[in-house]
Amino acid sequence: MAERRWKYHPPEPGPLQLRDSVRRPLLALACGARSDARLEVARVEAVERALRCELPDEILACFANGDGTMQEWEFDLGTVADHTALARRLGCGADLVAVAQNPDGDVLYCVDRRGHRKRAVGLVEFDAEETGAVGWKDLGAWLAELAGLEVEAAPLESPAFVQLTFWPDVAPEPRAWRLVV
């Protein structure tokens, strides 16, 4: 059976939708920065079109956060194509996009190539020096560990599917993560 044709849905300017388990550690890593974290829509669209993917809001927020820790872990929109090319050369599946790399350079962090932008994100840890995919972690739990925060209860394994969650309107945050023109 032929693969179903994929239709790209470009990102739109506006606030990014984040779970509280992701928002809290990103705020902690940004040291309480009050200014909005911004990422240009055109840059996101260029990377997504080149890699034929749609990156989730939670990953875009990591790119936009602007703190030193996320940069140390190479969460940088400009390096996604290079990380993904390296992952492919090392045997990582085409269904994943590499969005970051640990400071030692031996683990790439990947996400599913396609899915709803507002999906909950699980990171696939791909060992660049050993056997390939070695684990899965919920992004919120991974960020909480990185920020030195208590880790909220999270799934112990990759979910078989991700149920979409509708985020209610809430009071304004001290910081927002948004895509801009």
- Spell out the SS3 assignment of 156-172: CCCCCCCCCCCCCCCCC
Stated length of the chain: 181
How does pLDDT run across 6-62, given as a tens digit for each residue? Answer: 789 999 999 999 999 999 999 999 986 767 889 999 999 999 999 999 999 999 999
Contact 63, 38 (CB under 8 A): no
Q: Class for domain 17-154, per CATH?
A: alpha beta
Compute CA distances 107 → 26, 96, 118, 119, 123, whole Å.
Answer: 21, 14, 25, 23, 11
Compute the distance between CA of residue 137 and CA of residue 109 in angstroms, rounded to an integer: 10
Compute the distance between CA of residue 177 and CA of residue 37 in angstroms, rounded to an integer: 5
Looking up tokens 């999270």 gives 154
How does pLDDT run across 139-151, given as a tens digit for each residue? Answer: 999 999 999 998 8
Compute the distance between CA of residue 44 and CA of residue 42 in angstroms, rounded to an integer: 5
Stated pTM of the model: 0.82
- Spell out the SS3 assignment of 3-29: CCCCCCCCCCCEECCCCHHHHHHHHHH
pLDDT at res. 166: 32
Q: Does the pLDDT at position 181 exceed 80?
A: no
How does pLDDT run across 84-95, given as a tens digit for each residue? Answer: 999 998 888 899
Q: What are phi and psi of 63, to 5 degrees?
A: -65, -40
Compute the distance between CA of residue 56 and CA of residue 41 in angstroms, rounded to an integer: 13
Q: What are phi and psi of 21, to 5 degrees?
A: -65, -15
- Token pair for 80: 């996604």
Secondary structure of residue 113 in the 3-state scheme = coil
Where are the domains positioned within the chain? 17-154
